[in-house]
A and B are shown apart, each in its own frame.
Chain A
């Protein structure tokens, strides 16, 4: 059994209070220390006092940590053991976890692209740059300590805080108790690679203490549902990361048949557990043939234990799966079910169940279900027309717009609540290191100053 200690500025800390982490079958896999409030207060204070590494050392440490994370034993776990543990505990298909491992490593290796791309073109990164002799914009941190309430839905979400560390912030990661293994491994690798105990901390806490991490840090990022977004909406120090509500729009002049693969991939790749997985599919014209086609393709995905090499769908404890199922059916009332209407739970017989895909057709682009994002492949297909306009497309993390209408694309790109627009045959989960996911985090964490030396 694994013991995941708190990794604080004074080294590892094991609390008396221990949270038990179980796999889907109910076996105990690990115990997790939970830091009390006083520990958090003191830890963040120490992080604040610690100096930031020079930028070159940060980039080098990321590269070294990337190699270790993806290839070497860390804290007694080989990569394979780590991946198996994540899959067995979270029900994320093992191949998805493996891909995420590589993805995380690549993101760490290429972290300088992300940071450099985010820097305003006219700004230099240090007051020592010779251009400051005549006066130059210097890119500087707005604070010292960045905290994140991390998510546990997918290992790769932890890339979300890399930029803060690369920019020289000291970072406190509060892991999801659903999946602490990835941040534990990452934080350990980054500490060993050069960030040290005072550069980055792994601070699991119970719910009551969670806010303390944000309160003591300068800036924070919180993943959660609409409730979390609402809670922090008025706090300018906090960047809430809410539901992605990613969507696909297909206008009338575009052929949908050739992009069915892309739609299916958008809905279901990575097990459908990501914020970049498409939730809404809007079709100008009759949406029925599109719904029928994607339902047929998604119906063919096999039900397998998450650790099976061929698994592609997420697995959950059967009780939780049934609650999701009941919730889905309640919310889907009055819609047309193309897939999953008679249940999405496929009991594996070991206490866990596969969450099978669901496809429902709505009769209006304004139906409230369109933005309903759940942790498995679940799509809502709706009609769309020019009168509806971009209103139903708002509040979208990734919008794939299959259209040739440049005016419409103008509007979509201009819409502030759409974070990314992919025009044409590109799946919504597509990402490239160095490109912003929901804006660059640096937009939130950095500012420019005029420096003249």
Chain B
């Protein structure tokens, strides 16, 4: 993959995905129903807004149709799925070269945070069809570590919580913590990769916290949101001896963005994407316009690599728009949080 200017990169990606020799069956067919010509009308990042958001089509499209022909038989494709909170999950294909590149970039970012190499990992992140588990395993290996993992099915937990069965969800979480505890106690774990809810649950167990603080030198969190106050507490009060590094990613962005290194404790957690392949825009949802730096808006994700073209995907998340690092593309995002709705106060009987 070649990186020149943003425009050159965008045009190169259009050529790849919309040329009959290299594009995927999905996009070549989909192009017939577009009211613009990606090869001539899409010249730069700002033109990506022409594309429809196709992620919902990924719930039932045949994944083989997503593989660009340009790879021939050498795609090395792996299939991953979205969280699947609402209905049938969305599926995407990671070509081997993209997965490798994504892991390498992730690993470089961990270096910039001072995360040690040649230590073993404990990955308490979703496994199975979720990319983050594979990312953890390969990042650990790339960095000279073993990866200890647990089975973690987030869909089952979400289903339990949606049904109000918190006792069952608690029992499942306790089961996960038990698996984590066995590994922490018996193995020399230097990096803990976990979702924020798992870290919060872990924090309730003094014996596990003690093990983490004794052994773990870096905690990587991702997969769900972590509010700034909880992040402060985890860093300052609970896991005082480990370095915390956050990621904000998702299957539909084909990877993760990583916390910007070098910021002070009082600064917000800023995520830089793996540009130019994955870029963010922070927009005003009412107007579709990009908000000024420092203002909050909804996150739009563009992913363009040879592996996939998934642009103009409006996430449910909101964030503060931050300038990218020098020479970067798109926006960086801070204080990412799910959509918060504040409805009208309704009348509830009674005086309380």
Contacts and interface: CB of A to CB of B under 8 A. Distances in A.
Interface of A: 15-17, 34-39, 41-42, 45, 151-154, 157, 176, 223-228, 241-244, 273-275, 277, 320, 323-324, 327, 372-375
10 contacts: A16-B229, A34-B229, A36-B233, A39-B229, A41-B200, A41-B203, A226-B349, A228-B352, A273-B351, A374-B351
B200 A38 contact: yes
A243 B203 contact: no
A153 B350 CA distance: 10
Contact of A38 (B238, B348, B351, B352): B238
B345 A320 contact: yes
Given A16-B232, A17-B228, A225 B200 contact: no
B349 A16 contact: no
Contacts of B349: 225-226, 243, 372-374
A241 B200 contact: no
B347 interface: yes
A154 B346 CA distance: 20
B230 A38 contact: yes
Contacts of B50: none
A41 B351 contact: no
Which 5 A-B pairs have CB atoms at the shortest separation, nearest pair first? A243-B350, A225-B350, A223-B352, A151-B352, A153-B351
Nearest to B348: A225
Interface in B212-238: 227-230, 232-234, 237-238
Nearest to A274: B351
Contacts of B344: 323
Contacts of B200: 37-38, 41
Given A38-B238, A39-B233, A42-B237, A16 B228 contact: yes
Contacts of A327: 347
A172 B229 CA distance: 20
Contacts of B348: 224-225, 227
A373 B350 contact: yes
Main secondary structure of the interface of B (DSSP, over half): loop
B204 interface: yes
Contacts of B346: 323
B203 A38 contact: yes
Contacts of A242: 350
B352 A241 contact: yes
Contacts of A152: 352
A315 to B, nearest CB: 15
Nearest to B203: A38
Interface string B329-352: 000000000000000111111111
Contacts of A277: 351
Contacts of A244: 351
A451 to B, nearest CB: 32
Interface of B: 200, 203-204, 227-230, 232-234, 237-238, 344-352
Q: In the complex, which of the residues B227, B228, B234 has the most CB atoms of chain A within 10 Å of its own CB atom? A: B227
Nearest to B340: A206
A17 B352 contact: no
B244 to A, nearest CB: 13
A387 to B, nearest CB: 28
Nearest to B204: A41
Nearest to A331: B349
Contacts of B238: 38, 42
Contacts of A37: 200, 230
Nearest to B201: A41
Contacts of B229: 15-17, 34-36, 39
A26 B232 CA distance: 32
A268 to B, nearest CB: 13
Contacts of B204: 41, 45
A92 to B, nearest CB: 11
A439 B237 CA distance: 41
A273 to B, nearest CB: 6
A243 B228 CA distance: 37
B200 to A, nearest CB: 5
A38 B347 contact: no
Contacts of A273: 351
Contact of B234 (A15, A17, A38, A223): A38
Contacts of A241: 352
Contacts of B347: 323-324, 327
A307 B227 CA distance: 38
Given A16-B232, A42-B237, A36 B351 contact: no
Contacts of A153: 351-352
Nearest to A14: B229
A226 B203 contact: no
Contact of B352 (A41, A45, A225, A320): A225
A224 B237 contact: no
B108 to A, nearest CB: 30
A154 B352 CA distance: 9
B230 A36 contact: yes
A374 B351 CA distance: 6
Nearest to A35: B229
A375 B234 contact: no
Contacts of B203: 38, 41-42
A260 B174 CA distance: 61
Contacts of B228: 16-17
Nearest to B197: A37
A375 B345 CA distance: 14
Contacts of A176: 352
A243 B229 CA distance: 35
Given A16-B228, A17-B228, A37-B200, A275 B233 contact: no
B184 to A, nearest CB: 19
Contacts of B350: 224-226, 242-243, 275, 373
Contacts of A41: 200, 203-204
A320 B349 CA distance: 13
Nearest to B228: A16
Q: In the complex, which of the residues A15, A157, A176 has the most CB atoms of chain B within 10 Å of its own CB atom? A: A15
Nearest to B344: A323
A375 B237 contact: no
